[in-house]
Amino acid sequence: MKKITQYFLQGVLLVAPLAIIIYILFSLFTTLDGWLTNNMEPVVGFKIPGLGILVSFGFVTVLGFIGQTALVRPLKKVIQNLIEKIPLLNLLYSSLNDLFSAFVGKEKKFNTPVKVLFNKENNLWKLGFVTRETMETIGENDLAAVYFPHSYNFSGELYLVPAERVIKINSSPAETMKFIVSGGVTHF
């Protein structure tokens, strides 16, 4: 029973951040779409389908811009400090924040696609992304942290591999990720 509870909580940690974001964006879209349809139709004389999604996109973009300004940084810091004091919320927030920062933040982590030799005898290779060039923080200067996304899933595995086995490839991060996530069926 303890294992089932542990697996359930692990599943919640995997699903909850994405579900929360989808729920918030869907709620924003449906609320704005309904409000705009009801208020704009009498003015223009016809319904404008999809106006809610356009306004939602604009709203989220403006929030992103405001979030980058110096005016919001102190407020953001206060909110982050508050979140850090709540155990489960802290775990969810920091995981989401790190994930988004890895893809679109200033310190992108998935911008170095590589191939790693896993089985020299059978010449087996795996494609992934270097997330740290060296693991000197744990005393392993000759190891690199390489993330290997799973196909058709939003998960993956992180391996610490000998740096000499890591070979950078001539491909964009987006194309490499698409190739891996598709299970190798997209053009590469």
Q: Map residue 78 onto helix, strand or coil.
A: helix
Query: Has residue 106 got a pLDDT over 80?
Result: no
Element (H, E) at 167: strand 166-168
Residue 63 pLDDT? 77
Domain locations in the chain? 2-104, 113-181
* DSSP conformation letters of 102-134: HHHSTT-SS--EEEEEEETTTTEEEEEEEEES-
Kindly state the DSSP code that residue 150 receives in the 8-state scheme. Answer: P
Confidence of residue 27 (pLDDT cuts 50, 70, 90): confident
pLDDT tens digits for range 67-92: 777 666 777 788 788 878 877 777 67
Confidence of residue 154 (pLDDT cuts 50, 70, 90): low
Element (H, E) at 17: helix 2-44
Q: How many CB atoms lie within 10 A of CB 168?
A: 10
Enter the pTM of the model.
0.43
* C-alpha torsion angle, residues 84, 95, 12, 14 (rounded to 10): 180
Higher pLDDT, 12 or 127: 127
What is the Cα–Cα distance from 22 to 67, expressed in whole angstroms?
20
pLDDT tens digits for range 162-184: 888 888 888 888 778 776 765 55
Confidence of residue 126 (pLDDT cuts 50, 70, 90): confident
* C-alpha torsion angle, residues 28, 30, 34, 35 (rounded to 10): 0
Confidence of residue 3 (pLDDT cuts 50, 70, 90): confident
Residue 102 pLDDT? 66
